[in-house]
Structures are given as C-alpha cells and as structure tokens.
Amino acid sequence: MAKTKNIFHCTNCDYRPLKWMGCCPSCKEWESIVELKTNETAKPTADLSFDLVPLCAITTGEQRRMLSGINEWDRVMGGGIMPGSFLILTGDPGIGKSTLLLQIAQQLAQNNRLFYFSSEESLEQIKQRAQRVGCLDSRLLFCEQTNLENIIAITKQEKPDLIIIDSIQNCYSDSSTVIPGSAGQLRESAFHCMRLAKENNIAVILTGHITKEGTIAGPKMLEHMVDGVFYLQGEDRWQTRILRSVKNRFGAIHELGFFEMHEHGLQEVSNINQQLLNEVSYSPGSALISYIEGSRPLLLELQALVVPSKFGIAQRVISGVDQKQVIIIAAILEKYLQIRLSEHDIFFKVSGGFKLKESSIDLGIACALLSSYFQKPMPEKSLILGEIGLTGHIKPINQISIHINEAQKFGLEQLVVAHKQKVEKVQCSLLHYKNVYELLKLF
C-alpha cells in the first residue's frame, strides 16, 4: 500500500512549515496554511518523445502585430500586440483598466477574432459600460466564465486571435485546492494561460489587481512568467491616465501612453507636451528640462523653493527625483559658489507627478535651486540640458538631437547646454557653460 506524506504550505507565500499553523510565520497571514497529501511511491515518468534541433532548421513566418489604431496603446505595446504573447495590465481599482480594454477590444475586433472573458462583472454590467463608451460591435464576443479549464477549452476549440481575461484574480482552476486570488491559485492559473498562448499562438491579456505598495497582487513570479507588464496610473489634476510599460519582450520598456478620462471613456492624448508647457510658470525656482521616457521626450518643469532655515537642521522635502541627487547638486553649488544652501530649507518637486532618474537633469536641478535662491526667473522659453560632475564641471548628455527636435517643435528659443555639447542643425540660440561658476551669469 502506498504511503502518503502530509505536506503543509501557505497559499499566500508558499512557505512550507513542518506542521499546521494558524498564522504563517513568513507572511503573517492568518488561516493560509493548508494541507496537501502526496503519494511517495508515485514517480513521474519522463517523456523523451521530443527532438533537439538547431535554430537554423526552424522555419518562421512573418509575425503580423495586431494594431488597434489607438496610437498611444500601440506604441506602448511595441508597435501592436504580438501573436502568441502573454500580457498583464494592472492598476488601482477604478482607474479604468476594464474601460480601456473594452475600447481596445472594440478596435481590435475589426480585423481580428477576439473573446472577452469577464470574471468580475456580469454581461449586463459590461453592456451598460459598452453603451456609454460606444463599444457595441457584434464581432466582439463576451463570456462571464470564471472556470479556467472552461476558458481554455473554449479558446482551443474556437481558435481566436486574442482573448482578454478580466481579471485573473477572480478565475479559479479545478486542479487547485486553494481559493481564487491566492498565491497558489494565481501561479497555477498564470502557468496554464502561458501554455495556452505559446502552444496555440493566441495572444492572452490578463488584468490584475495591485497591492497597497503598488505591485501586482500575488507572487512576484507572475511578472516573470508574462511577456509584458503594463501599469495604468492616474494623475488627478488632469484626469489623465498614464499607461506605462514596465516589462515588454516585444518592445521598449518604460514607454508611456497618455489617455484622458471623459464621460464616453478614455481618449488618447497625443499632445501631452503642449499640456505640460501650458503649466510652466517661468517664475523664480522654475526650470524647464527634457526627459526621455521610453522613446518619447517629455518637457517637464522642475520646481524648487529655497528659504532660510528657522530650525537647527535644514529640511529637505523632495518628490519626483532621487533625494540624494538634489542633495549632491546643492552640495556642489555650496562648495564652488560659496552659497550656504546647508542653512536653507529646500523643497523640490517635479511638476506633473513624474519620477525622474537620469543624470541629464542635473543642470536643471542646479538652475532651479539658484533661481529660487536669488529670486530671479530663468529666461522664458529656455530648455536646460546637462550633467554636473562633483568637480563642478558641466558635461554633455546623450541623444541631444531628440531633445532639440522636441524643443523646436514647441517654439522654445534658448538651450542651456554644456560647453562641449555637440549640436547640429539647431534653430534655437545656444548658451554654453563650462562649470557651475558660469551659471551665475543667468542670474
């Protein structure tokens, strides 16, 4: 008689204690430890009915990407959805994930066979949204199936080009003994969806929930299993939604797409830089920089407020930029310009809620701090591009032509750059500076 061995594991983090516990010692989740029984004598048989072949012997056909006609979406996808790709779209509750996918599905259904599986909403609820956003195309087929085995069976039988599952947290698999939405259920469901996409060349798009920390709910390995991870984020001031590519095996990462929420759904925003420029104040403490996110340059305003400190220790309140980067630039200015910024409170932010990480904004940070310190604005319609070394020297940046083309497109008149910056075919006036000492000429 075959012996059985009791195995306990956590359905939230997959921790495996030696015995049952009420609370998981790893993730501190209560009532998440379950018992699984395995047969010790059962040994899987290896399937050796496969061939090893060189890549040169494999025939490949032309992969036609599925274009929606919505440029902001297609660009973030890397030029359209690749057949057989496995993608996940996530974001805050109510941010517009289902609305965006419904509109994308409406466009894709014009030239592709598409199934939309809804596990969160009934078909009546989906129809109400479809009527509001104008997505009542008879070629777009819906189903409120939540059983993953049934979804896979229908998909294999009908062979569509693309399926959308909204959302993966509410689907369940008969082969799993844990509840839907748990780590074990998500892991198994994602694996079956991945095999469905790869073995049948059917694109699969999942929607997923996120945690309080802003990451995909469930195991981190879910991000490693998919071909692309896309976040839909909100900007309250503009009612703007930002579609961000975090991972994309078929396109550039950190690509951005901009949409604006309206009564009739999400509408793409193709002139986001015009909106950003309309917000620029050109007042003391303001500096305009260009920052490349994915393949698109963004014209962003840096805002600094430098005031004498009234406490023993000067405050540093910084958002949108690495705090250490601003502190280093402030230290360089204090060292070489003899400006006592260490005795001043510094408040710094990036307009629009963006988060910047490149060193090409060093010169913009320095100009914003100096502008606020001297209470003198930068020249209007001026763009600041440069990196600052610890010695106080201003260094050139890469991809300068992309920044310049965007600046000229929107009528910017001056460029503040490094002395050794190589610039070709520029219509703007150039202000070259070797080091931070020369920046005082601006003020």
Residues above pLDDT 90, as percent of the chain: 52
Provide the 10 A C-beta neighbour count for residue 351: 17
pLDDT of residue 2: 47
- Read off the pLDDT of each residue in 266-271 and give the average, rounded to a whole number: 89
pLDDT of residue 114: 95
More confident residue, 38 or 367: 367
Domain ranges of the chain: 4-39, 70-269, 274-442
* pTM summary value: 0.81
Is the pLDDT confidence value at 47 over 80? no
Going by their DSSP bridges, the two strands 256-262 and 240-248 should be labelled as antiparallel
pLDDT of residue 37: 57
Is the pLDDT confidence value at 199 over 50? yes
Say how far apart CA 286 and CA 216 lie, in whole Å.
Answer: 36
Range 70-269: architecture per CATH: 3-Layer(aba) Sandwich (3.40)
pLDDT digits (tens, 9 = 90+) for 304-336: 999 999 888 899 999 999 999 999 999 999 999
Share the mean pLDDT of the chain. Answer: 87
Asked whether 392 and 415 are in contact (CB, 8 A), the reply is no
Least confident of 16-25, 199-208, 360-369, 394-403: 16-25
Q: Which residues contact 384 (CB under 8 A, 6 or more apart)?
A: 287, 288, 289, 363, 364, 367, 378, 416
pLDDT of residue 257: 92
| CATH code assigned to 274-442 | 3.30.230.10
Is the pLDDT confidence value at 217 over 80? no
- Read off the pLDDT of each residue in 422-436 and give the average, rounded to a whole number: 87
